[in-house]
Amino acid sequence: MKFKKLLAVTASVVLSASLLTGCSSKKEESAENLSIGIVLGEGSINDQSFNQSTWEGLQKAKEDFKVNIKYLESKQESDYIQNIETLVDEETDLIIGVGYQLKDSIEESAKNYPDQKFALMDETYEEIPENVVPVLFKEEEAAYLTGIVAAKMTKSNSVGFIGGLPAPAVIKYQYGYKFGVESTNKDIKVYEQYANSFSDQAKGKSIAKQMYSSNVDIILSAAGDAGTGSIEAARENNKFAIGVDRDQSDLAPENVITSALKKLNVASYGLAKDLAEGNYKGGEEKVYGLKEGGVGIAESAKNLIPKEIMDYANKEAEKVMNGEIKVPKNEAEYKELSK
């Protein structure tokens, strides 16, 4: 299997493939009156990462299924319920909470409005409400592959990780990345720090500059808008960066060697497609990993990563998909698998 096909399927290809099994013209016509609204956690709709990728999937769904779409940004935690209530009042057919911060608010709203359809990106529940679809990703698998790339490409044997907030998804990135680095070369030091924000670009940039001054030459940032600050630091200091969630190479084409893709656009498009075709089914998780084509590394990786490194990452991806390699998703699993 070719590397490009396995790891770097672009969103457009995946979406096109989904469209081949799309709805009939009759269903498309009925979908024109459907509406989908998303409520954001921290960060803007144009964060070049998590929120933006989710919105891009819905924009594609609007084109394909003629559904109406809308987003509401949240400036503070108290906005979550208020924004959800606004969408309920507007008789929005599907309300999607974007990010783990919306977990409690979506659960509360699902109980208050049992006939309302909800979805939650990046979190789940022990007991999933019947009118909620939680969407999860195996971020650790994508991060593992970027850790391999970082370990193969570092010249200083020092790489870094910057997290936004210690959300479950960010922790998956952190330990998947570390596992990829250290399973490739145990002599490499991994510097780790949290910005405690998904929106503070200046903080992300400051942390990255400090790491680069400490001989780090590659940093993976899973930090939303704060991560774009880290990428800016890479550009200014002629170092390497690894993006997350979407292909962030456009932010610094000579410095972003790859991105750990979490295809929120594919997931949000899928939710819209299910709604448009009458296939929405609450009470069950949707999980996207390497095997499901929901995570991977960006196609732009071929521009800066030598072919032999790409080929090696490809082989490791196959091992993950067939169960030969288990990638840790938290500190406890990391410690156990690193013994």
Q: Is pLDDT above 70 for 23? A: no
pLDDT in tens, 148-183: 999 999 999 999 999 999 999 999 999 999 999 999
Confidence grade of residue 29 (pLDDT, cut at 50, 70, 90): very low
Give the CATH class of 3-137+263-288: alpha beta
Q: Is pLDDT above 60 for 19? A: no
Q: What helix, strand, coil percent values describe the chain, rounded to 5?
A: 45, 20, 35
Residue type, 236: E
Mean pLDDT (the chain, rounded): 91
Residues of the chain with CATH 3.40.50.2300: 3-137+263-288, 139-261+295-337
Q: Which fold has domain 139-261+295-337?
A: Rossmann fold (3.40.50)
The whole-angstrom separation of Cα 8 and Cα 19 is 19
The whole-angstrom separation of Cα 164 and Cα 269 is 25
The side-by-side arrangement of strands in the sheet containing 35-40 is 68-72, 35-40, 94-98, 117-121, 132-137, 286-288
Q: Is pLDDT above 50 for 3? A: no
Percent of the chain having pLDDT more than 90? 82
Q: Which pLDDT value is given to residue 30?
A: 59
pLDDT in tens, 222-238: 998 899 999 999 999 99
Tell me the mean pLDDT in the region 199-221.
Answer: 97
In sequence order, the 6+-apart residues with CB closer than 8 A to the CB of 150 are 159, 177, 180, 181, 218, 220, 242
pTM of the model: 0.82
